[in-house]
Amino acid sequence: MSENNEYSFYAAVVKSFKKAAEFTKWDKGLLEQISACNAVYRMRFPVKKEDGSIEVIEAYRVQHSHHKTPCKGGIRFSMAVNQDEVMALAALMTYKCAIVNVPFGGGKGGIKIDPKKYTPYELEKITRRYTSELIKKNFIGPAVDVPAPDYGTGEREMAWIVDTYAAMHTHDIDAAGCVTGKPVSQGGVRGRKEATGLGVFYGLKEVLSMEEEMSKRGLTPGVAGKRIVIQGLGNVGYHSAKFFRDAGAVIVGVAEYEGSISKPDGIHVDELLEFRKRTGSILNFPSAVNLENNKAALELDCDVLIPAALENVIDGENAPRIKAKIVGEAANGPLTPEADEILLQKGVLVVPDMYLNAGGVTVSYFEWLKNLSHVRYGRMEKRFNENMNARILQEIEDLTGKKVNESSKTFINHGADEVELVYSGLEETMITATREIMAEWKANDHIPDMRTAAYVVAINKVATTYAELGIFP
């Protein structure tokens, strides 16, 4: 499937799916339907660059499953984009959404460009043209297919998309719901930007609290003091690192594109990012050690390794040298199936991508709901709750004759803001999903790893939807 006839990411996803399907009771045809990519839209369009030259751009949107609509999934800008990759990522979205109970089918988009090589004006032209192509074929809309940020894209691109869509759908009162990950001023939700990294943190925190899993690997439960290595300091890697550090973990290594560093007493990621902005590199960060290349940090001695960049970074070659006890897949597909097998033999707990990085799509779901309801979270109940809390506290003080101190009073009385509701909705989602997957794994001794257990959970949920639709007896 891969265009360069090498590693096929899509084949790896299908392989994991088939392995898990063995542990389910569903009809072969139904399983085939769940695994198949429903629609692939491959497009090419021209863009005139600022120097007057014309370039033909290659782009995709894949809708993997329509068992629930709209389809959902990010759009990435990267030179590694090809049909195989977008299909694999769209499939992962289907399973991801099912696991976290987000009512969407999986989708994914990609534009094969290196965004660093274009001016903002050119990127805007490319993004708007891509959106127009999606509109032409009915591949975007709040009820049809809802893109979001992914590798190489962010709020700015989402703002261009919603503006293009809304301009061409002036009668669609729900037009803002055609894309998520927008700036708050354009209908975005507070907390979306950090959502994937925060979800990685909540998911791993729950895993790290599991006494049995920790003792099997010689670890004590809890986040505080855990030694973490992060690969990729983009939106996902940066926020994962930040939330771990805030909770008392120690970031002992960081890998980026230009190289990797280690610092056993801990790296402050904000300082590192600031340093990188100033010098153009993470290398030579004060009191850190430069490692031999940009993948070397993956092999550092640590408790949790978090690959948060692109797919296929741990393969059969470097997997034997991984020393982490837990690998948290913040990226999509960072392990090849061969690496997966090797880490399993070594007793490493691999916490799988399609649920661990589901924080982004979970908060996208909250954003989409906000767009459809046309009201900010907390707007209706914030003041009511504050008044009620103040009244309850007053009653308690009157009945006990004691006074609560001012800072506790402010905390107890306050009504939740949008961002607090989003965070708590996300925390609940990640904890529930972690427990559900672990329970599935525990219930069947033959399920070899957490990834397979996650697939089983996903397959059962998607299959149930089909079965209840009555399509498959």
Residues that are catalytic: 108
Which listed range, 197-205, 226-234, 274-282, 357-365, lies at the site for ligand GLU (CB under 6 A)? 357-365
69 backbone dihedrals φ, ψ, rounded to 5°: -125, 155
Smaller CB distance to ligand GLU: residue 74 or 141?
74
For position 85 contacting ligand GLU by CB under 6 A, the verdict is no
Minimum separation from the CB atom of position 269 to ligand GLU (A): 21
Cβ atoms of 313 and 276 within 8 Å: the answer is no
Q: Which of 180, 240, 262, 434 binds ligand GLU (CB under 6 A)?
A: 180
Residue pair 467/30 in contact by the 8 Å Cβ criterion: yes
461 sits near ligand GLU (criterion: CB under 6 A): no
Asked if residue 90 binds ligand GLU (CB under 6 A), the reply is no
Smallest separation (angstroms) from ligand GLU to the CB of 230: 18
Site for ligand GLU in 281-340 (CB under 6 A): 332
CA nearest neighbour of 368 among 184, 192, 180, 195? 180
Distance between CA atoms of 203 and 195, rounded to whole angstroms?
A: 12
Stretch that binds ligand GLU, among 161-169, 356-364, 430-438, 456-464 (CB under 6 A): 356-364
Contact status: 72 vs ligand GLU (CB under 6 A) = yes
Task: Work out whether 360 is an interface residue with ligand GLU (CB under 6 A).
Answer: yes
Peptide bond into 320 cis (omega under 30): no
Between CA 72 and CA 62 the distance in angstroms is 10
Q: Is 148 in the site for ligand GLU (CB under 6 A)?
A: yes
The reply on whether position 239 binds ligand GLU by CB under 6 A is no
Residue 364 in contact with ligand GLU, rule: CB under 6 A: yes
Taking CB under 6 A as the criterion, the residue among 98, 113, 349, 361 binding ligand GLU is 361
Paired tokens of 156: 């700015």
Q: Tell me the site size for ligand GLU, rule CB under 6 A.
A: 11
**Bridge partners, 61 (sequence order):** 41, 109
Q: Which residues contact 22 (CB under 8 A, 6 or more apart)?
A: none
- List the one residue from 74, 109, 199, 203 that touches ligand GLU (CB under 6 A): 74
Binding status of residue 98 toward ligand GLU by CB under 6 A:
no
- Using the rule CB under 6 A, give the single segment among 7-15, 273-281, 358-366, 403-411 that binds ligand GLU: 358-366
| CA pair distance 165, 153, nearest whole angstrom | 17
Tally of CA atoms within 13 A in the half-sphere of 115 that contains its CB: 21
Q: Residue 97 CB, nearest distance to ligand GLU (Å)?
A: 8
Q: Cα(200)–Cα(202) distance, rounded to whole angstroms?
A: 6
**253 lines the binding site for ligand GLU (CB under 6 A):** no
**Of the two residues 359 and 378, which places its CB atom closer to ligand GLU in the complex?**
359
Residue 290: Cβ-neighbour burial (10 angstroms; 0-12, 13-18, 19+)? middle
Nearest approach in angstroms of CB 473 to ligand GLU is 32
Contact between 306 and 330 under an 8 Å Cβ cutoff? The reply is yes
In the complex, least distance from residue 371 CB atom to ligand GLU, rounded to whole angstroms: 13
- State the helix-helix crossing angle for 359-373 and 418-443, rounded to 10 degrees: 130
The set of residues, in sequence order, having a beta carbon less than 8 Å from that of 464 and lying 6+ positions away, is none
| Cross-strand partners of 251 | 228
What are the residue ranges of helices labelled H in 185-315? 195-208, 211-216, 235-246, 269-279
Minimum CB separation from ligand GLU for residue 406, in Å? 40
Q: Nearest distance from residue 235's CB to ligand GLU, in Å? A: 10
**CA–CA separation, 195 vs 364, rounded Å?**
9
Nearest distance from residue 148's CB to ligand GLU, in Å?
A: 3
What residues between 107 and 146 interact with ligand GLU by CB under 6 A?
none
C-alpha 376, offset from chain centre: 23
Our measurement of the distance from residue 192's CA atom to the centroid of its chain's CA atoms, rounded to an integer in Å, reads 11
Helix, strand, coil % (nearest 5) of the chain? Answer: 50, 15, 35
Nearer to ligand GLU, 74 or 232 (CB): 74
- The span of 18-26, 54-62, 70-78, 212-220 binding ligand GLU (CB under 6 A) equals 70-78
CB 104 within 8 A of CB 64: no
Q: Confirm or reject binding of residue 73 to ligand GLU (CB under 6 A).
A: yes
Position closest to ligand GLU via CB: 74
For tokens 């006074």, the residue is 403
Of 29-37, 54-62, 66-74, 203-211, the window that binds ligand GLU (rule: CB under 6 A) is 66-74
User: Which residues contact ligand GLU by CB under 6 A?
Assistant: 72-74, 148, 150, 180, 332, 357, 360-361, 364
